[in-house]
Structure 1
Amino acid sequence: MPKLSTRLDWFSESIIRKMTRIANQYDAINLSQGFPDFDPPQELIEALKKTADEGPHQYEITWGSPLFREAVAKKQERFMNIKLNPDENIVVTCGSTEAMMAAMMSVCEAGEKVAIFSPFYENYAADTVLCGAIPIYVPLNPPEFTFNKDELENAFKEGAKALILCNPSNPLGKVFTRDELMFISELVTKYDAFVITDEVYEHIVYEPSKHIYFASLPGMFERTISCSSLSKTYSITGWRLGYVIGPKNVIDNCKKVHDFLTVGAAAPLQKAALAGLAFGDDYYRELTSLYTEKRELFLKGLDSIGLKYHKPEGAYYVMVDISEFGIKTDVEFAKRLAENVGVAAVPGSSFFKDDVNNYVRFHFAKKKETLEKALERLQNIRKFF
């Protein structure tokens, strides 16, 4: 029999999705894979019901329905403070997962290099390898998880054509400061490179941190491929609606990749989602307030248990230090946590390039009662380790 592709040897199956299966196996509270256990806004549910009756139920224009692209452009112009042409600057994708892949394949040739901050969301390394590029990892150094300027510049000296920037970041919840972003902008200008952003948590940021769109920085729109989705902002992770925003020449390439990769995102869901994209500023303030309360509840619970963690500035994840338990690997710890304590987390090693085994990641995008139940179970953690 012929050999299979060896590029897949670079990575394993998704550890995050695997932990959901383990959570289901042991009936554990799933604080691993980052999706809510509460409903999206009622306006979206009602819009979906109406669309089920009225349609459309067939293909839309490949790169997104005109109404959806216009709504995305209007909403993002408001927050990014950038003028967007819905025909030239936007491609609608099947979630931000496809958006990132389309962006990568649009700007990277086989054998070229891509800089990735570590820790990182596991898809980034896989995306890099799948498009034939080579990852260069730049550490974010604890306790504040900041980057060393020389180490970052060395990645560009080594030939990085693009940098993947997740802001706010998964898994850390780090929100990059303006000074950090300006330094990155200086490097990509100096070394003639791109920045591919993952900004799906753009509206989940905690005071006093502020999210700054990289594309909004002086001179950066032409060098930035902005990827995001509706999943986290509107609690519709299963709808798989994402988009790429960028300059026309990049978007023209993204349209080609997207057309042959997935053809198009679901037409009825694009129509139903218009209700969310039309929300006013009050919705986003309430979203921030909602997740601020959840963060405070969960972190206070971790404090009462005596667990050490890195305080997130954005997104809805928290990295917990498990060094005290002396378990050989975080993978073993996470499995035993789900089986014995009844709470599922993601082994932190899945986010790091180096051999780091002293973290697990929890998420707190859950109902108050779910979080309280999880914290109650975690009170017993030292009985099992």
Structure 2
Amino acid sequence: MFERRQCTRGPGGQMSRTSEKAGRFTESVIRETFRLAARHGAINLGQGFPDFACPPELKEAACAAIAADDNQYPMTFGTPALRAAIAAKTARTYPGWTIDPDTELCVTCGATEALVAVAFALLDPGDEVVLFEPWYENYQPNAILAGAVPRPVRMREPDWSFDEAELRAAFGPRTKAVFLCHPNNPTGKVYRADELAVLAELCQRWDAVLVVDSIYEHIHYLGPGGYLPPALVPGLEDRTVTVNALSKTYAVTGWRVGWTVAPPDLTAAIRKVHDFLTIAAPAPLQAAGVAAMALPAAYYADLAAGYLARRDLLCDALERIGFDLRRPDGSYYVLCDTARLDPAADGVAFARDLITDIGVSCVPAVSFWRPENAESGRSKVRFAFPKQLQTLRAAVERLEKLCD
């Protein structure tokens, strides 16, 4: 379990039947954790999906669209109604951010497809991509599949800040893009205005595009104004691709409806790639997206407050049990060090034993680092807390067996 697998040549040294690119990364450790947890009946705090209902307005809109036979191909890059609704909701949430729904939006099959479409639309073989490590596990494979060269920049504990000199050294004439998860998975970091200003300066200097995975934009614990969209940072307005989705904000991770916001020239390229990847996102679920965009501001305040309660319940227990951690400022994950509980400091074995012996799943954090830098995450695991409070309490009860 959780082993890094490489493609190899067959007997006699003949050429592999799979690509060299596919051999440079593993299958998703997160999804592998999900399968193992299901097999052992473990409480799943590994994969980041809510175990509670989405807003009823979304279900009603989806059911009404299906009943009305809205079941055929929609416009490839999103229904006009959803694109207009996303633009309107964005303008309400972030005054000053104006989006042209006709030229600056592409609706995709989730943020995952959006990130692939962006990578293929922006990157050519040999281009370089700046990535912050530890990273969400999709970013490096996306760059590799596009033929690009990842240029990692380490985020440093305890606050997961980057070293400005190291960041500057990662940029160069071949830098085409920067991938940023903000708020961050797996660290929970929310990037500060001064950090985004440094990125703006470097992207302008080297004519690079900032690709922002903003799927946790409404899940942060810093209060009003605590989250700054990079597209509003001076110097990044015309060189930011913002990726988002219904999944996390509205508790519909299985619906796979996402979108990109980008300048018209980048959007045109993203739309072409998206068309040949998946054609279009599901029509009736786009109708549900229109309903989601109409939810009042109070929904987002309640969302953040609810996740703050979940964060504190789980983090209080993890600290009491013996994990070392920094409480996340955003997203719904907490990255923990297991060294005080595990003399071997082996997060992979720890995560496996936690599933099989304790009945709770987490993700071994080594998958968020490069193989050559895996020691940085060797003793760490990631817990997800988008769960009902009773689910978290049940998980804590099981985790307390670690104290026995």
TM beyond 0.5: yes
**1:330 is the counterpart of 2:351:** no
The answer to whether the 8 Å contact 2:178/2:210 transfers is yes
Q: Deviations over 1:290-321 (max 9, x none)?
A: 11111111111122223211210000000010
For residues 157 and 298 of structure 1, what CA distance do their matches in structure 2 show?
Answer: 42
Name the amino acid aligned to 2:22: L
Contact 2:201–2:235 (8 Å) recurs in 1: no
Aligned to 1:58: 72
The answer to whether residue 305 in structure 2 is matched with residue 305 in structure 1 is no
Task: Give the conservation status (yes or no) of the 8 Å contact 2:345–2:379.
Answer: no
For residue 228 of structure 2, the aligned residue among 194, 203, 212 is: 212
Q: Does 1:286 align with 2:298?
A: no
Which amino acid letter does the alignment assign opposite residue 265 of structure 1? A
| Aligned position for 1:228 | 244
Opposite residue 251 of structure 1, the aligned amino acid is: T
Letter in 2 for 1:248: P
Instruction: Answer whether contact 1:57 1:268 (CA < 8 A) is retained.
Output: yes
| Superposed counterparts of 1:162-201, under 5 Å | 162-201=177-216
Runs of 4+ in 1 over 6 A off after TM superposition: none
Q: Which residue of 2 aligns with 1:90?
A: 105
Cα deviation, 1:265-310, whole Å, max 9, x if unaligned, reads 0001101221111011111111111111111111111222232112
d(CA) in 1 for partners of 2:319, 2:327: 11
Kindly indicate whether the alpha-carbon contact (under 8 Å) linking 1:37 and 1:365 is maintained by their aligned counterparts in 2.
yes
Long gaps (5+) in structure 2: 1-13
Deviations 1:170-210 (A, max 9, x none): 00110000011111111111111110000000000102571
Q: Percent identity?
A: 40
Aligned-pair CA distance for 1:326: 2.1
Which AA in structure 1 matches 2:402? I
Trace 1:1-385 onto structure 2 (pairs within 5 A): 3-80=17-94, 81-157=96-172, 159-208=174-223, 210-324=226-340, 325-327=342-344, 329-353=346-370, 354-355=373-374, 356-383=377-404
Q: Does structure 2 conserve the Cα–Cα contact (< 8 Å) formed by 1:171 and 1:361?
A: yes
The Cα RMSD (Å) is 1.3
Distance 1:78 1:124 in 2: 30
Distance 1:158 1:306, change over 3 A: farther
- Shift in Å at residue 47 of structure 1? 1.7
* Aligned-partner residue type, residue 377 of structure 1: R
Letter of the 1:163 partner, please give it.
V
| Count of aligned pairs between the two proteins | 383
Which deviates further from its counterpart, 44-53 or 145-154?
Answer: 44-53
User: Do the aligned partners of 2:216 and 2:248 also contact (CA within 8 Å) in 1?
Assistant: yes
CA distance in 1 between partners of 2:24 and 2:18 (Å): 13
| Contact 1:221–1:246, Cα closer than 8 Å, also in 2 | no
TM-score by length of structure 2 reads: 0.92
Structure 2 counterpart of 1:219, which letter?
Answer: G
Shift of 1:328: 5.5
Indicate the SS of the match to 1:210.
Answer: coil
Q: Helix, strand or coil: the match of 2:47?
A: coil
1:146–1:24 distance in 2 versus 1, CA, 3 Å: same
In structure 1, what residue type is equivalent to 2:176? K
Q: Which residue identity is paired with 1:339?
A: T
